[in-house]
Amino acid sequence: MTRLTNSLATAAAALLVTAGIASAQNALKAEVPFAFHVGSKVMEPGTIRVRMLSGTNGAHAMIVNNYDAKRSYIVLPRQAGDPPKSWLASGEAKLGFDCNSGTCVLAKIWSGQGNAYDFYGPKTKGGETMLTEIVMKADKGD
């Protein structure tokens, strides 16, 4: 039964990746000059592409991809909510990183409209969260 469950989960993930790649209208990219954690994985610096995937019940998953490093991770948000006021005022899609402990963790994504999504990641050490923001632009598929 475990083998069947693993196979189904792998097939579902492959379908999510395929659906995300096919839907370029909601693809965004940004130049991230530092390595960062995506959940428990580490993403190298470079051109980062983010694709938002919508589920049938409105739930979102995101594909975070570094094409040059040939790495992609599917992440599920911890929660959705209002973006920070400064993000709303700018109207620009953004990635937010918690870089409090010297290690950066993907903490928040906002597409420039609707909800911002918060993510799980490794705990940072003490102090208040310092959000490092990077603007994302529409991915023209270069």
Question: pTM, whole model, 2 decimals?
Answer: 0.72
Residue (of 110, 118, 119) closest to 91 by Cα position: 110
The domain locations on the chain are 2-138
Phi-psi region of 91 (alpha: psi -120 to 50; beta: other; left: phi over 0): left
pLDDT in tens, 76-106: 898 889 999 999 999 999 999 988 767 889 9
Reply yes or no on whether the pLDDT at 10 is more than 70.
Answer: no
pLDDT in tens, 19-78: 444 444 478 999 999 999 998 889 999 999 999 887 665 657 899 999 888 999 998 898
More reliable by pLDDT, 138 or 29: 29
